[in-house]
Chains A and B, each alone.
Chain A
Amino acid sequence: MPVRMRTALVPFATLPLAACAGRQSALDPQGLQSNQILQTLFIFLIVAAVIWTAVVVVLCIGLLRRKRHADQPLALHQGFERTSGYVVFGLGLVTLIIVLGLSIVSYAGQRTVFAKDEHALTLKIIGHQWWWEIRYEDDSPHQSFVTANEIRIPTGQPVKVELESADVIHSFWVPSLTGKMDLITGQKNELQFTAKNPGVYRGQCAEFCGLQHAHMAFAVLALPPDEYGRWRDHENQSATSPTDTLGKQGEQLFRARGCALCHTIRGTLAGGQLGPDLTHVGSRTTIAAGTLPMSSATLGAWIADPQHIKPGSNMPKMPLQSGELIAMIHYLEQLK
């Protein structure tokens, strides 16, 4: 497409949109596990603060108190040597007890955080450089589907994510809900969490996975259970065919320009497996794994020049005329 049009889109792409990213903080727990972890953290913080303060106070008093006068380094009082011996030993014992106590507190917290519920809703997540493949699986294959970079879950229900990697080690981390767990090649890991309140929670890959590790985020949307049920049914369906000319043009371009080689849009002939599933891309809150908020402008900027926004990502720059880009954006936007 003409350079001018691409350049014009870039500022739109980089405009920060207000608060749509979602919460991403261990200090703002909205899940059962993150809540437990924060409580454990508070206990540790208080103990740590007390100990550090005590050390600094003793240090200051020690430095400032009046001393024996003569500078005779070897003139030691046996009384002090003995007493200090007991004090050091005693403090050592206290340290040991505190450490054992904290270990127990930690283990108790650990058991709560890692408790497994058999009736958890199961999702499989496969990490790729630099996006997340999400598989909602069901006993019936008709109820199973694939999506990418965004998870929706019901509130109040344990959710189990089964974590695998297609390439290098990644880490699934959504701090507002729970602690992280790595996605390790050749191994299946599991993580369970329960969202207490509805909301948008941002997660980010937390294990260095290469060039665009910084841009491998995802969103977890916790919905009230019935809303979740409706979403799941809808998401399970194939993409609706466009009815307008521009949309039809976009759908045709999607195949003609090679997008279908990497991406799947269920219900069409596009069946590529290398990149994220785009069946309902229009309903996602972000693009390129949390790199940009979803909008026409950002969608266009991304498609026009992915290497500019996420250099090194596996999506090549496809040659598109400006009119073709508009049709493409229009088609993808209505894949809700």
Chain B
Amino acid sequence: MVAEQRELRDDALNGLQLSTRMESIWRTPSGFSGALMSVDHKVVGRRYIVTAFAFLLLGGLLAVLMRVQLAKPESTFLSADKYNQIFTMHGSTMMFLFAVPVMEAFAVYLVPLMVGTRNIAFPRLNAFSYWMFLFGGCFLWISFALNVGPDVGWFAYVPLSSLQYTPTKRPDVWAQMITFTEVAALAVSVEIVVTVFKQRAPGMTLDRIPLFVWAMLVTSFLVMFAMPSIMVASTSLILDRLVNTRFYDSSSGGHPLLWQHLFWFFGHPEVYIIFIPGTGMVSAILATFARRPVVGYPVVILSLIATGFLSFGLWVHHMFVTGLPQLGAGLFTASSMLIAVPSGLQIFCWLATLWDGRPVYRTPLLFVIGFIVIFVMGGLSGVMVASVPIDTQVHDTYFVVAHFHYVLIGGAVFPLIGAVYYWFPKITGRMLSERLGRWNFWLAFVGFNVAFFPMHILGLIGMPRRVYTYTADMDWAHLNLLSSGGALIFALSFALLLANVIHSLRNGALAGDNPWDASTLEWATSSPPPPQNFDRIPVVKHRDPLWFDNESLPVVAGLSAERREVLLTSLAEAEPQIREASPEPSIWPLLTAIATTVFFIGSIFTPWAVLWGTPPMAVALIGWFWPAGHKEDEE
């Protein structure tokens, strides 16, 4: 019997020795190959955020082009074909390449820090997810640059998107981009669920989980149950176009409405996948800048869960004018309006928080206030479109365009920009300029409303969506010009954000650990956090740990100081259970992503891609999972 030499643990070291040791274990190797192999959630999260914002800027440029075209009647700035590609790319980019990924990205970066662990669950899957997102987005945009970008709308209704009416490869590019981004999103959602369920700091019982983390947990479940729908839909579309299946072909037993049901069963939860993280950001920011915890913690959580469930029962409201039975449609009116109740409850809790709190007017709070004003208006126009008779007039008009921009920009983008100002110090170690921040906010608020409010009216006075031009005698010209003016101001606000970020990366004031005196665990470590996040895993005794005790942080000791280890705790009580080994940097996620990309892109050109595309993927996956002979694999 050999008495096993006990490895070095983190209780044997202290202070600088400990942090240096932990850093050397957890850091990503330097250099380009190190960057390709990183499995650090912070590295992957930062990349995800930057890439998603790059797509926001690209999608925003497309919007500016659209607004220039529509600023005057019968404009020849863009041809019909170009405009149709551009509005398709705008919607697809914003929905699939920006809105969902950016929320996931913030979750990837923040959730492990907020729950007090060292890395996200399944770190290599996380890296893989980023590559799939990047490759899918590039695939779409390179295709667009090569004039094979989709032109059938972000929702690609059949029969227009079927081979008969669009014989080009354009809809296939769109459909496969979906597959890339859905794989990425599904991977992240599983990681978030497991991180929140199993890797919370000891003592972080369910009722001590931060509201942002709750929001991301609910969102992850929505992703898991909604995204398979569009996977089935887009795969079936590719099959119809590639090998002549008849899912949507009404001459052979298929039906165009099958597409709409499958698409919107995904499409409605999708907007909550975008909105719910926004509410999580609002809760986090509001608590810090109202200087008190959010009122009604259990109400907010139950509202999040209720919103999540209800969101699966609304999808038919996108199909009110397709000739459905009237009673069914009426029920979907009721359910679509019902979701205003949990959303409203959250807003009431936030208002109560502000009522009692002491507002500190920094940029993050400004964006939260802007969110309340804009989102509530969007929600109310949503209640209007939920009504079947009203919807028969405003469906597919600029009224709906106004509605969803109010809820998406108000409900997700404003909180997101607030979140950028709020967490930039944590991610980079520097503060963004408060002065530029105020200009950013006001330009965004004014620009947004000038751009989108007139669209309510345009829709009511008869302007349909997705039209590349309109005639001069329609009386729409003035409102369109006003809207385009507002759009330019709104676009300017993003230029300002970009300038603020670039300037502050070099010249911003140093942030320190907790510049906002916030309460959650990510502020208990340095800015930016060290690779290991925390030298020792924290222990949580209160819902707002850093307000409860801002001088000392209770921690557990005993984790390895020789290899990567995270602490798994029990689901409800967060009792420590297992010291689980965490993967080292690895090239296999990238290789698997490349193999998968070849498979996906090949399979829109030939079904045989399934045959020759599978072996490389299998090899990559085996390489990924084959034990590398590290000590932790051999126990």
Question: Do the beta carbons of B354 and A59 come within 8 Å of each other?
Answer: yes
Q: Does B214 contact A (CB under 8 A)?
A: no
In the complex, chain B residues 456-495 whose Cβ is within 8 Å of any chain A Cβ: 460-462, 464-474
Q: What separation, in Å, do the CA atoms of A173 and B400 have in the docked complex?
A: 15
A21 interface neighbour in B255, B376, B397, B474, Cβ under 8 Å: B474
B373 interface neighbour in A59, A81, A202, Cβ under 8 Å: A59
Q: Shortest Cβ distance from B65 into chain A, in angstroms?
A: 16
Question: Do the beta carbons of A55 and B384 come within 8 Å of each other?
Answer: no
Question: Do the beta carbons of A27 and B460 come within 8 Å of each other?
Answer: yes
Q: What separation, in Å, do the CA atoms of A31 and B304 have in the docked complex?
A: 43
A residues in contact with B468, CB < 8 Å: 214
Question: Do the beta carbons of A55 and B372 come within 8 Å of each other?
Answer: yes
Question: Do the beta carbons of B256 and A214 come within 8 Å of each other?
Answer: no
Q: What separation, in Å, do the CA atoms of A190 and B322 have in the docked complex?
A: 10
**Total contacting residues, chain B, CB less than 8 A:** 87
Q: Does A48 contact B (CB under 8 A)?
A: yes
Q: Does A14 contact B (CB under 8 A)?
A: yes
A residues in contact with B291, CB < 8 Å: 71, 73
In the complex, chain B residues 545-604 whose Cβ is within 8 Å of any chain A Cβ: 547-548
Question: Do the beta carbons of A99 and B159 come within 8 Å of each other?
Answer: no
Per-residue 0/1 for B303-327: is the Cβ within 8 Å of any A Cβ (1 yes, 0 no)? 0000000000000000001110010
Question: Do the beta carbons of A95 and B394 come within 8 Å of each other?
Answer: no
Q: Does A58 contact B (CB under 8 A)?
A: yes
Question: Do the beta carbons of B157 and A21 come within 8 Å of each other?
Answer: no
Q: Shortest Cβ distance from A24 into chain B, in angstroms?
A: 4
Q: Shortest Cβ distance from A16 into chain B, in angstroms?
A: 4
Question: Do the beta carbons of A21 and B392 come within 8 Å of each other?
Answer: no
A residues in contact with B466, CB < 8 Å: 208, 213-214
Q: Shortest Cβ distance from A96 into chain B, in angstroms?
A: 5
Closest chain B residue to A38, Cβ basis: B393
Q: Shortest Cβ distance from B445 into chain A, in angstroms?
A: 13
Q: Does B337 contact A (CB under 8 A)?
A: yes
Q: What separation, in Å, do the CA atoms of A213 and B460 have in the docked complex?
A: 19
A58 interface neighbour in B152, B355, B358, B471, Cβ under 8 Å: B355
B471 interface neighbour in A16, A76, A107, A210, Cβ under 8 Å: A16
B residues in contact with A182, CB < 8 Å: 321-323
Question: Do the beta carbons of B355 and A62 come within 8 Å of each other?
Answer: yes
Question: Do the beta carbons of B337 and A99 come within 8 Å of each other?
Answer: yes
Q: Does B426 contact A (CB under 8 A)?
A: no
Given contacts A74-B293, A76-B292, A212-B80, contact A102 B474 (CB under 8 A): no
Q: Shortest Cβ distance from A274 into chain B, in angstroms?
A: 16
Q: What separation, in Å, do the CA atoms of A67 and B395 have in the docked complex?
A: 45
Closest chain A residue to B252, Cβ basis: A186
Closest chain B residue to A93, Cβ basis: B341
Question: Do the beta carbons of B333 and A37 come within 8 Å of each other?
Answer: no
Per-residue 0/1 for A89-115: is the Cβ within 8 Å of any B Cβ (1 yes, 0 no)? 101100110011011011101111110
B residues in contact with A178, CB < 8 Å: 392
Question: Do the beta carbons of A95 and B341 come within 8 Å of each other?
Answer: yes
Q: Does A261 contact B (CB under 8 A)?
A: no
The stretch from A163-171, A223-231, A235-243, A327-335 touching chain B is A163-171
Q: Does B242 contact A (CB under 8 A)?
A: no
Question: Do the beta carbons of B157 and A187 come within 8 Å of each other?
Answer: no
Q: What separation, in Å, do the CA atoms of A110 and B271 have in the docked complex?
A: 26
Per-residue 0/1 for B337-363: is the Cβ within 8 Å of any A Cβ (1 yes, 0 no)? 110110011011101101111110000
Q: Does B206 contact A (CB under 8 A)?
A: no
The stretch from A39-47, A137-145, A150-158, A275-283 touching chain B is A39-47
B256 interface neighbour in A19, A51, A68, A186, Cβ under 8 Å: A186
Question: Do the beta carbons of B348 and A52 come within 8 Å of each other?
Answer: no
**Residue of B256, B299, B333, B389 with most chain A CB atoms under a 10 A cut-off:** B389
Closest chain B residue to A114, Cβ basis: B326
Question: Do the beta carbons of B165 and A167 come within 8 Å of each other?
Answer: yes
Per-residue 0/1 for B75-118: is the Cβ within 8 Å of any A Cβ (1 yes, 0 no)? 00001110010000000000000000000000000000000000
Q: Shortest Cβ distance from A166 into chain B, in angstroms?
A: 10
A residues in contact with B548, CB < 8 Å: 74
Q: What separation, in Å, do the CA atoms of A140 and B345 have in the docked complex?
A: 61
Closest chain B residue to A99, Cβ basis: B337
Question: Do the beta carbons of A80 and B356 come within 8 Å of each other?
Answer: yes
Q: Shortest Cβ distance from B292 into chain A, in angstroms?
A: 5
Question: Do the beta carbons of B392 and A73 come within 8 Å of each other?
Answer: no
B330 interface neighbour in A18, A87, A107, Cβ under 8 Å: A107
Closest chain A residue to B359, Cβ basis: A63
Closest chain B residue to A107, Cβ basis: B330
Closest chain B residue to A22, Cβ basis: B473
A residues in contact with B352, CB < 8 Å: 62, 84, 87-88
Q: What separation, in Å, do the CA atoms of A167 and B250 have in the docked complex?
A: 11
Q: Does A306 contact B (CB under 8 A)?
A: no
**Total contacting residues, chain A, CB less than 8 A:** 93
Given contacts A24-B462, A67-B356, A167-B159, contact A214 B467 (CB under 8 A): yes
In the complex, chain A residues 175-222 whose Cβ is within 8 Å of any chain B Cβ: 175, 178-182, 184-187, 189-190, 202, 204-214
B470 interface neighbour in A113, A129, A214, Cβ under 8 Å: A214
Question: Do the beta carbons of B395 and A55 come within 8 Å of each other?
Answer: no
A173 interface neighbour in B84, B330, B464, Cβ under 8 Å: B464
A residues in contact with B469, CB < 8 Å: 214
Question: Do the beta carbons of A113 and B389 come within 8 Å of each other?
Answer: yes
Q: What separation, in Å, do the CA atoms of A25 and B464 have in the docked complex?
A: 11
Q: Does A259 contact B (CB under 8 A)?
A: no
Question: Do the beta carbons of A204 and B462 come within 8 Å of each other?
Answer: yes
Closest chain B residue to A313, Cβ basis: B80
Q: What separation, in Å, do the CA atoms of A103 and B522 have in the docked complex?
A: 44
B547 interface neighbour in A18, A24, A74, Cβ under 8 Å: A74
B333 interface neighbour in A45, A63, A67, A106, Cβ under 8 Å: A106
Per-residue 0/1 for B372-395: is the Cβ within 8 Å of any A Cβ (1 yes, 0 no)? 110011001101101111111111
Question: Do the beta carbons of B355 and A189 come within 8 Å of each other?
Answer: no
Q: What separation, in Å, do the CA atoms of A84 and B159 have in the docked complex?
A: 53
Question: Do the beta carbons of A184 and B323 come within 8 Å of each other?
Answer: yes
B338 interface neighbour in A80, A89, A99, A212, Cβ under 8 Å: A99
Q: What separation, in Å, do the CA atoms of A288 and B133 have in the docked complex?
A: 44
A residues in contact with B467, CB < 8 Å: 213-214
A residues in contact with B390, CB < 8 Å: 37, 40-41, 44, 106, 109
Closest chain B residue to A291, Cβ basis: B471
Given contacts A87-B348, A311-B80, contact A26 B380 (CB under 8 A): no
Q: What separation, in Å, do the CA atoms of A63 and B365 have in the docked complex?
A: 11
B residues in contact with A27, CB < 8 Å: 460-461
Q: Does A1 contact B (CB under 8 A)?
A: no
A residues in contact with B372, CB < 8 Å: 55, 59
Question: Do the beta carbons of B389 and A44 come within 8 Å of each other?
Answer: no
Question: Do the beta carbons of B348 and A88 come within 8 Å of each other?
Answer: yes
B residues in contact with A80, CB < 8 Å: 356
Given contacts A14-B74, A106-B387, A185-B250, contact A208 B392 (CB under 8 A): no
Q: What separation, in Å, do the CA atoms of A182 and B468 have in the docked complex?
A: 20
Given contacts A14-B74, A19-B473, contact A71 B321 (CB under 8 A): no
Question: Do the beta carbons of B337 and A102 come within 8 Å of each other?
Answer: yes
Q: Does A285 contact B (CB under 8 A)?
A: no
Q: Shortest Cβ distance from B488 into chain A, in angstroms?
A: 23
Q: What separation, in Å, do the CA atoms of A107 and B323 have in the docked complex?
A: 16
Question: Do the beta carbons of A102 and B323 come within 8 Å of each other?
Answer: no
A52 interface neighbour in B341, B359, B376, B395, Cβ under 8 Å: B376
Q: Does A5 contact B (CB under 8 A)?
A: no
Q: Does A318 contact B (CB under 8 A)?
A: no
Given contacts A21-B473, A88-B345, contact A58 B351 (CB under 8 A): yes
Q: Does B329 contact A (CB under 8 A)?
A: yes
Q: What separation, in Å, do the CA atoms of A204 and B345 have in the docked complex?
A: 40
Top 6 closest pairs, chain A to chain B, by CB: A179-B392, A186-B250, A214-B467, A24-B462, A106-B387, A189-B323
Q: 5 more A-B contacts (CB under 8 A) besides A73-B287, A85-B299, A88-B345?
A: A28-B461, A37-B392, A52-B380, A204-B464, A214-B80
Query: What are 16 A-B interface contacts by the 8 Å CB criterion?
Result: A21-B473, A37-B393, A44-B387, A51-B380, A91-B344, A91-B348, A96-B341, A103-B330, A106-B387, A106-B390, A111-B326, A114-B326, A180-B396, A208-B152, A208-B160, A214-B469
